């Protein structure tokens, strides 16, 4: 049975000092939000968390963005205002992860021959 087949959408914003990433539900919801700002951000983003990549691009490990980092880049530490800026000017990215095949439990508990 295949496992791990999932899609992931995010917005990557390249700032002056850092790169920022936020996860979104899907690209279509961001495009609808850009046309109709009455749509709440909660229906667009997957959690109110902004990540920083330490200038390593959108494909590396992320850390949570500190209030000081947000203040330096966006002039405010309010996450909803920063997310709005990232959604407006960031690059939309969508990735599909491949399926993984294989046994779920190699030891099979007490059923395996030792």
What pLDDT sits at residue 36?
92
- For residues 21 and 60, what is the distance between their CA atoms, to the nearest angstrom? 11
Please give the Cα distance from 74 to 26 (Å, whole number): 24
Average pLDDT, 10 consecutive residues per value, the chain (114 residues): 67 91 91 92 90 78 91 94 94 76 64 58
Assign residue 26 a region (left: φ > 0; alpha: ψ between -120 and 50; beta: otherwise): beta
- Whether 20 and 50 have beta carbons less than 8 Å apart is answered as yes
pLDDT at residue 1 in the model: 46
Q: How far is CA 46 from the centre of its chain?
A: 7
How many residues are recorded in the chain?
Answer: 114
Question: What global pTM score does this model have?
Answer: 0.75
């Amino acid at each position: 049975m295949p496992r791990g087949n999932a899609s992931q959408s995010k917005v990557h914003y390249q700032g002056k000092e850092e790169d920022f990433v936020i996860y979104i539900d899907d690209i279509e919801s961001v495009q609808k939000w850009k046309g109709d700002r009455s749509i709440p951000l909660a229906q667009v983003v997957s959690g109110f968390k902004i990540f920083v990549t330490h200038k390593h691009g959108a494909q590396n490990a992320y850390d949570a963005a500190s209030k000081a980092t947000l203040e330096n880049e966006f002039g405010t530490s309010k996450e909803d205002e920063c997310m709005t800026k990232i959604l407006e000017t960031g690059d939309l990215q969508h990735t599909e992860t491949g399926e993984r095949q294989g046994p779920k439990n190699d030891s099979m508990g007490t059923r395996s021959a030792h």
